[in-house]
Amino acid sequence: MTEGVRGEDVGGVGGGGKVERVLRAAAPHALFEEVRGLLARDHGAAGAELLIADYAAARLQPVTAQPFTAESVSAYNTAEGRAFGAQEAHVVLGEGGVTVHLPVTVRGERLGVLSVRYAAGVPVGSHIGPLQDIADALAHEILVADRDTDFFLQARRAKRLTLAAEMQWQLLPGRACSRPEYDLGAQLEPAYAIFGDSFDWSASADHLTLTVNNGMGEGIDAALLTSLAVSALRNARRAGLGLADQAALADQALYGQYQGRLHLATLLLRFDLDTGEVEVIDAGSPRVWRLRGGTVEPLGLEAQLPLGMFEDTVYTSQRFQVLPGDRLFFLSDGVYDVLSPVGEPYSLHALTRAVMNTRLLPPSQVPRALLEELPGYRGGVDATDDALVVCLDWHGRPGTGAGGER
C-alpha cells in the first residue's frame, strides 16, 4: 500500500548543518553507515538502505559492506524506482512498518535512492523535509568520496565493466545536469562494454559548452582515442580558447599521435545562457535533432572533417538559435543508423515516434528510454556499434530574451 506525504510529525529535526559536519568527518567508505546511525539517533528510524543506480540506469544496487552480495531492484516498476524516476519522496505503508524512499540527487545527477524505515503507524509527513536534506547532503558527499574510494563505484556495477568501458565512464562528467537555463541527460550503451562514444559538458556563469563524440575503432583503441580527444578539448577550453581553436588543438593532438590512421567525429557546441545563441562545429557524424512546438526535425549543419583525419585542418563555426521550450537530441550513428530487419534506418521514421513518445519525460530519463527501443527495432539482432543519446531541454534565462514560459 502506498501513500503520499502526510502532515503528521515524528519528532524529526532538520539539523542540516549537523548532517554536513558528520558526513565531512566520516571516512569516504563509511558515509552511509554514518547516515544510518544519524537516522536512528535523530530521526527515530528503524533502519535504512542506500541504493545506487547502475551504469545502465536500469537497476538500483544496494550499497553493502561486500559488493555484489545483495539483490538489486528495478529502477522502473518498484517503489524505489518510483522515487528515482519521479525525483520526489515516495511513502509506502505496510503491515511491518512505513518506508520513505527519497531520491539521492545532486545538481540533476540521479545517483540513487535512500530508503528509510519506521515502525508501523508512525506518521512521517513533516519528517520528509529533513530526510530529503540528509539525502541531498549524502549525494554531494558521495561525489566527493568517489575521488578517494571505490566503494560506491563498485556498488554501481551490476556486472563487470570491460576495460574500455571503465576508461570511458571515468572520463564522463556525469549523466545529468540541471540549471535554471537548461536540463541535460545522457546515456551510453552497451553500458558495460562501451568503447568509442562519449560526451562532455562544462558550464560557466554565461555559457554551456557541450561536446558529443563518436570515436573510431573498438575496445581499448577506441577508448584511448576518445580519452586523448576529450583531454585535448578540455585543455584548450580551460586555456580560454574559442570553439574553433579547441577543435584545432584536438585535431593536432590526434593527428600527431595517429597520423590520420584513427580519427574522431565530434559535435562542439557553446550555448550563450543569456541569448540562447549556439555556436557549433560539426566535425563528423553525431547529429542534432530538435523538438519544437510538436515538430521533430534534424538540424542541418555544415559538415567538416573529423578530428585527426588530416594535418592542420581549419575549423569554422556556425550559429543557430534555441528558444525556451526547445528540446535537442544529440545522437551517435549507433542510434540513427540502426537498421530494422527490412533495412529501414531508425532515423527515417522510428526516431520521430520515439521523440514524441518521450516528450513528457525529463531529459534525465529520455536517453535511457530511447536506447531501450533499439534492440526491438533491430529485431533481436546484436548491436554492431555503441550508441549515445544526449537530451537537452532549453528553458532560457529568466529576465532575458532567452527566458520565459515554456
Pairwise CA distance, residues 326 & 134, whole Å = 34
CA nearest to 282, candidates 298, 308, 306? 306
pLDDT band at 340 (very low <50, low <70, confident <90, very high): confident
CA 161 to chain centroid, in Å, comes to 18
- String of DSSP letters for 48-65: EEEEEE-TTSSEEEEP-S
Cell output for 163: 576495460
Backbone torsions φ then ψ of 65, nearest 5 degrees: -60, -35
In the predicted model, what is the mean pLDDT of residues 357-361?
Answer: 94
Output the pLDDT for position 402: 53
Share the mean pLDDT of the chain. Answer: 90
Q: What is the pLDDT of residues 180-209, one digit of tens each?
A: 999 999 999 999 998 889 999 999 999 999
pLDDT band at 13 (very low <50, low <70, confident <90, very high): very low
Output the pLDDT for position 5: 39
pLDDT band at 79 (very low <50, low <70, confident <90, very high): very high
CA nearest to 213, candidates 312, 141, 130, 282? 282
- 16 has pLDDT over 70: no
- 8 has pLDDT over 50: no
Q: What is the pLDDT of residues 248-280, one digit of tens each?
A: 999 999 999 999 999 999 999 999 999 999 999
Top-confidence range, 65-69, 281-285, 402-406: 281-285
DSSP strand E in 107-240: where? 109-118, 176-179, 182-189, 197-203, 207-215
Pairwise CA distance, residues 268 & 275, whole Å = 18
Q: What is the pLDDT of residues 131-170, one digit of tens each?
A: 999 999 999 999 999 999 999 999 999 999 999 999 999 9
pLDDT > 70 fraction of the chain, expressed in percent and rounded: 93
